[in-house]
Amino acid sequence: MQVLKTAAMFALTALFATLTACEKPAAESDPAPASAMGGAPSGQAPSTMQDRAQAAPAAGPAAKPGGGLLAEASGVEGNLAITIRWSAEIVTGIPAEGLITSVYKRTAQLLCPVTSSAEAPYSYFAIVDNPNAEPFAATGAYQPWWNEDCTGSLTIADSYHADDPTLAGPEPVVRTAGTRPLSTGDTPLTVETDLNKARTRYMFLSPSADGFQQDDAPGYPARRVAASAAPMAVMDFTLEGPIGDGKREVAVQGGMLHVEWTFSRGRTTP
């Protein structure tokens, strides 16, 4: 039993270390002045979506006698399709000395395959929330859904405008725009169902990409910059029930962040 517990603790610690290495604030673009479906092989009839999809379980988790949920089988596959939209307009400065208006319009689309793990008596999120605590201190019944990788894109249409009253004439609006693919290494997520309390926690790390084109401005040449999908590094939500669809709105400086996701069972392959 001690050998099994030690092996389990080592595996859990390795998983925590992997996610912790990714949990850093995503790169933001600094305004310069201031601051997937393939076809059938030749000779074969095109396959239908039903043919391409693997068989999915007909039902989700069953109710636990006395309340809560029973764990699903280990190895159940599914997809999480995630949309992150950030829109904001932030004005900083003093009118008499100059104002800076920064506009953010960003949309990220992600498709993330997930796979269920076996029921565990300890919570992965208990380690995330209390990294210095005993890993097995939180006991109960939990089912993690691990992310394998994500694919997607980030589209931005930002702008930056400095209004300096000491300068003659209007100053240019500096725009940053484009669509870039998201690196799967930058888009991890973790999902865990608390079976006893029948609720699921979703933790998305804000994806980022580089290579967005930023216009030139007086004294600053055009350049390629990085951008993130959200103004925070981590988006963390808890919803009642098993893994499933969700939607949340979060007030952020100068605007709103919208996060929406859908869960489907089985996998669709090209």
* Range 224-249 average pLDDT: 96
Q: Containing domain of residue 246, as a range?
A: 2-28+71-265
Q: Is the predicted pLDDT of residue 199 greater than 70, yes or no?
A: yes
Q: Which stretch of 41-50, 182-191, 208-217, 243-252 has the lowest confidence by average pLDDT?
A: 41-50
Domain annotation covers residue 141: yes
The per-residue pLDDT for 244 is 97
Task: In whole angstroms, give the CA distance from residue 108 to residue 75.
Answer: 28
Q: Is the predicted pLDDT of residue 13 greater than 80, yes or no?
A: no
pTM score, whole prediction? 0.75
Domain annotation covers residue 43: no
Q: How confident is the model at residue 218 (pLDDT cuts 50, 70, 90)?
A: confident
Q: How much of the chain, in percent, has pLDDT values that exceed 90? A: 54
Domain annotation covers residue 194: yes
The per-residue pLDDT for 164 is 82
Q: Is the predicted pLDDT of residue 32 greater than 50, yes or no?
A: no
Q: How many structural domains compose the chain? A: 1
Domain annotation covers residue 22: yes
Task: In whole angstroms, give the CA distance from residue 227 to residue 84.
Answer: 13
Q: Which stretch of 38-42, 96-100, 146-150 has the lowest confidence by average pLDDT?
A: 38-42
Domain annotation covers residue 20: yes
**What does the DSSP assignment read for 209-259?**
EEEEEE--BTTB--EEEEEESSSSSEEEEEEESSS--EEEEEEETTEEEEE
Side chain identity at residue 94, one-letter code: I
Q: How much of the chain, in percent, has pLDDT values that exceed 70? A: 74
Q: Which stretch of 16-25, 221-230, 240-249 has the lowest confidence by average pLDDT?
A: 16-25
Tokens 């992310």 sit at which residue?
A: 147
Domain annotation covers residue 36: no
Q: Is the predicted pLDDT of residue 267 greater than 70, yes or no?
A: yes
Model confidence pLDDT, tens digit, residues 152-186: 999 999 999 988 887 776 788 999 999 999 876 66
Domain annotation covers residue 66: no
Domain annotation covers residue 210: yes
The per-residue pLDDT for 5 is 37
